[in-house]
Chains A and B, each alone.
Chain A
Amino acid sequence: MNVALGRAGVTLGLVAAVLGVVTVGYGLVRRRPDLIRLSRAYAVLVFVGGIVAFIAMERALITRDFTVKFVADNGSSKTPALYNFATLWSALEGSIILWSAILGGYLVAVVFKFRKRLADPLVGWALLTMLAVAAFFFFLMAGPANPFENFSPPAGFDGPGPNPLLQNHPLMAFHPPMLYLGYVGFTVPFAFAIAALATGRVGEGWLLATRRWTLIAWGFLTAGIILGSWWSYEVLGWGGYWAWDPVENASFMPWLTGTAYLHSVMVQERRGMLRVWNISLLCATFALTILGTFITRSGVLESVHAFTESSIGPSLIAFFALIVLVTVGLIGWRGDRLRSPGRIDSPLSREGAFLANNVLFGAFAFVILLGTVFPLVVEAINNDRISVGVPYFNRMTMPIGLTLLFLMAIAPVLPWRKASAELLRHRLIWPAWVGAGAMVFAVAVGARGLAPVVAFGLGGFAAGSAGRQLVLAARRQGWRGLVGRANGGMVVHLGVVMIAVAFAASSSYVRQAEFTLRPGDTAEFAGHTLLYEGQNIKEESAKTINQALVRIDGTGPWAPSLNKFANGQTTIGTPSVRSTFTDDVALSVIDIRGGDDPSVTLRVTVQPLIIWLWIGGGVMALGTLLAVFPGKRRNPIDAVSSPLAGASPPEPEPEADRVVANA
């Protein structure tokens, strides 16, 4: 029943997507608006197909219908409800269902948003592109990664349940959907970029049409990445939250190119420049999401997050190749129309800062891509095995990150076109003192070492500058000074600063040790006192939890544990973390022994400021929401770029006037 329903959904989606591509494509070539408008119906059908498949699978999981092979492989009658629901995206086939359903949702949203312009070739080509992407993912479900295979379970059959690591923390229910909303969301601006290239309307129209979509996708991707690192901090139990693992890198690379795009797109909106570059960035972002899925799912690169390996690797790499071929070909073909009419007058200007920002984000993404695939390159060349890990990435990205923080501090106060030294001196003095204050404070409380202290200083500088912009905007416009893209962006900057400072502090001042304690023993470490009270064993339906009860500085007891899952032979540790605003004490059990000589071996990791990573993530999400919220908008009819340099008067800087008036 569920198999039939699911297959019906997949078939519906696949057929609708393919027919949609054919019909809309024919309509676009033959200039038949009636055919182009049919995209609406096909989009809805694709969405219905994805939702039917999703519902069929959830229904099968919830009713433990083991006649569906996916449920037999990944479900279990012992899995608690929340994780059972999340089982859908704990394995490859199910995650493709989620991907397709989300893509269907975005399709319908685009059709609704542009309902009055469906016959516009730009929208037509965009929908065609989205339908083609949908066709690919439904094809995956119909063929290489079919989630609805039959299985005849023997009497009393029970599945193994999802990977124990994936049913150890509620964040698992939220992190993958968020990440997918981000990944899939970039399909929309990508589709419009392709449409712009295909129609030759490479001006700013498609940019304005998609900027909010890009921002939303970026926000989801940000939230997904941060929830993912929170999950690994809470679950994997090694005291860290970011390991520069191939899968983490795979999600971070599109984030970097997407972030670069969000900045450089402003130069194009304002000055009509960087057209090739912006289209390339968007296409790279989308291509990197597919590459990321390939890396996660193909098993070519080893990763702690690659929970399933499968045969869809070739399909994904072929699709990646197709995307690259199409976009590179289109950009080459449209190169003459993409030439930008403007020029940048001075490096010391807003647009100059955005250029520098893009170079740095590009270098950042390049370092990560290189480090991630370099072992493959070396193996291909001389058959030697090497590893590229955390120390490499930390060392290479640290200078880039610090320079980005510096840019974050000065760019927001820079005017467009040209800035004078006087102006900078005036606008930057207070942010610079905030930065110096942050450094003095850090050193006063005991921070040592050049890199982290510089990071704190630059973080303070950037925060001061973002704060200055927000204060000025709020003074000018009241609460509306916090909404809109520029102001929301400053809130995002504050979140980024929190994360950067927390990252610098936690990776520079991490202390780790192992202790073997008998009940009643205490240990002193990094200014904290640990008291082992004893062992506590809890039986749950899916697992046996062997807890070590530990008091940290008299609080608690905290209960890190080793969990033995009923179905697998695997034992998974669950760490326990005592968080405060200044530092985190993370405990994980390495070994625990009962009997007549009871003892526990604990790993203790003390890292400062960890909690600010999650707070910073929340602030970034909030800032994205504020940025999406329509602020005081530029009239879309207004010219956004001057066709001839000098034809329009330079924009006044109202804020500068205000400062002077207040002074």
Chain B
Amino acid sequence: MTSSRETGARRGGSNLARNAAIVVGIFLVGFIALLATRGANTPISSRIVGQAAPNFSGETLDGSRFDLAMHRGEWVIVNFFATWCTECRLEDPQISQFVASHEGEPVKVVSVAFSDDAESIRTYFAGRQGASWPVIPSDTGRIALDYGITKVPESYVVAPSGLVVAGFFGGVTASGLDEVINENGGMAMAGSGS
């Protein structure tokens, strides 16, 4: 940890040793301060919030197409989930509730499967009499990576302007989604997108 130049300590080596000790000491004090003040580090997460929402389209469970570009001017919640993920199953009722409460409003939810196979997704939603919103059982993973998904569930709120205004890392709640929409201008913003 000390400079190898100390090997040169001879006559007058006392000064060299002392100076080196001071330099090394100061360096180490800074180092210790650094270690002592760092908290546990934050995990890697998506950088997409604040940027334009990456466009995507895909075939949904009911056979129709969902194209994000077609929904410019509406609020879109892009939700990523998997059937093997417990937290995703837990957030399901919340999304249902959110969709129901915004019936007829310019608010859409779209769920995109992450690291899952279409068969399990079909089975899963069939057991629940289908989802009341479009679900893309896409298996390529490209959509999820475009949004910088690290683990599911993750959801992003796309404003009518096409900007991603918020991300939920973990399950969403209906009230949480409403709050984000209201904070960013609410329904008044809808239709104002280009």
Contact = CB atoms under 8 A, between A and B. Distances in A.
Quick check: do A and B touch in the complex, using CB within 8 A?
Answer: yes
Interface of A: 257, 273-277, 280, 284, 287, 294, 298-302, 309, 314, 317, 320-321, 324-325, 328-329, 331-332, 334-336, 338-341, 343, 355, 358-359, 362, 365, 373, 375-377, 379-380, 385
A284 B41 contact: no
A339 B36 contact: no
Interface in B4-27: 4, 6-7, 9-18, 20-22, 24-25
A336 B9 CA distance: 9
Contacts of B17: 276, 331-332, 334-336, 338-339
B38 interface: yes
Contact of A376 (B4, B21, B24, B35): B35
Which 9 pairs, one residue from A and one from B, show the smallest C-beta to C-beta distance? Answer: A335-B17, A339-B13, A332-B21, A336-B14, A335-B14, A280-B2, A328-B25, A284-B1, A335-B18
B7 A300 contact: no
Given A335-B13, A340-B9, A301 B36 contact: no
Interface string B30-48: 0110111111111010000
B28 A328 contact: yes
Instruction: Tell me if A's interface is mostly helix, strand, loop or mixed.
Output: helix
Given A335-B14, A335-B21, A324 B28 contact: yes
Contacts of B21: 328-329, 331-332, 335
Contact of B38 (A276, A336, A338, A380): A380
Given A275-B9, A355-B7, 10 more contacts: A276-B17, A298-B35, A317-B32, A331-B17, A331-B21, A332-B22, A335-B17, A335-B18, A340-B10, A377-B34
B41 A332 contact: no
Contacts of B11: 339
Interface string B178-193: 0000000000000000
A275 B18 CA distance: 14
A622 B103 CA distance: 76
A277 B16 contact: no
A343 B13 CA distance: 13
6 contacts: A276-B20, A332-B22, A335-B17, A336-B17, A358-B7, A373-B34
B6 A317 contact: no
Contacts of A280: 1-2, 6
Given A325-B25, A339-B10, A332 B36 contact: no
Contacts of A276: 2, 6-7, 9, 13, 17, 20
Contacts of A284: 1-2
A209 B125 CA distance: 75
A277 B34 contact: no
A483 B107 CA distance: 81
A298 B17 CA distance: 33
A376 B38 contact: yes
Contact of B42 (A277, A339, A343, A385): A385
Nearest to A275: B9
A302 B18 CA distance: 36
A622 B60 CA distance: 65
Q: Which of B12, B17, B36, B44 has the most CB of A within 10 A?
A: B17
A277 B41 contact: no
A358 B4 contact: yes
B10 A301 contact: no
Interface in B121-162: none
Interface of B: 1-2, 4, 6-7, 9-18, 20-22, 24-25, 28-29, 31-32, 34-42, 44
B38 A379 contact: yes
A373 B35 contact: yes
B4 A277 contact: yes
Contacts of A377: 34
A201 B102 CA distance: 83
Given A324-B25, A335-B16, A380 B32 contact: no
Contacts of A314: 36
B13 A340 contact: yes
A338 B13 contact: yes
Contacts of A324: 25, 28, 32
A309 B36 CA distance: 15
A376 B42 CA distance: 11
Contacts of B2: 276-277, 280, 284
Given A332-B22, A336-B14, A294 B6 contact: no
A329 B29 CA distance: 13
A273 B35 contact: no
Contacts of A379: 38, 41
Contacts of A375: 41
Nearest to B37: A380
Contacts of A331: 17, 21
A320 B38 CA distance: 16
B34 A362 contact: no
B101 to A, nearest CB: 33
Given A300-B35, A332-B21, A335-B16, A343 B41 contact: no
A72 to B, nearest CB: 25
Contacts of A343: 10
A335 B31 CA distance: 23
Nearest to A387: B44
A300 B32 contact: no
A380 B40 CA distance: 13
A299 B4 contact: no
A276 B7 CA distance: 7
Nearest to A260: B4
A324 B13 CA distance: 21
Nearest to A360: B4
Contacts of A320: 32
B128 to A, nearest CB: 23
Contacts of B12: 339
A343 B22 CA distance: 25
Contact of A339 (B4, B9, B31): B9
B168 to A, nearest CB: 20
A375 B22 CA distance: 26
A593 to B, nearest CB: 11
B17 to A, nearest CB: 3
Nearest to B17: A335
B7 A294 contact: no
A590 to B, nearest CB: 12
Contacts of A340: 9-10, 13
A376 B6 contact: no
A359 B42 contact: no
Given A335-B16, A376-B35, A362 B4 contact: yes
Nearest to A316: B35
Nearest to B1: A284
B125 to A, nearest CB: 21
Nearest to A295: B35
B23 to A, nearest CB: 10
Nearest to B26: A328
Nearest to A280: B2
A393 B1 CA distance: 19
Q: Which of A277, A355, A358 has the most CB of B within 10 A?
A: A277
A496 B12 CA distance: 39
Contacts of B14: 335-336, 338-339
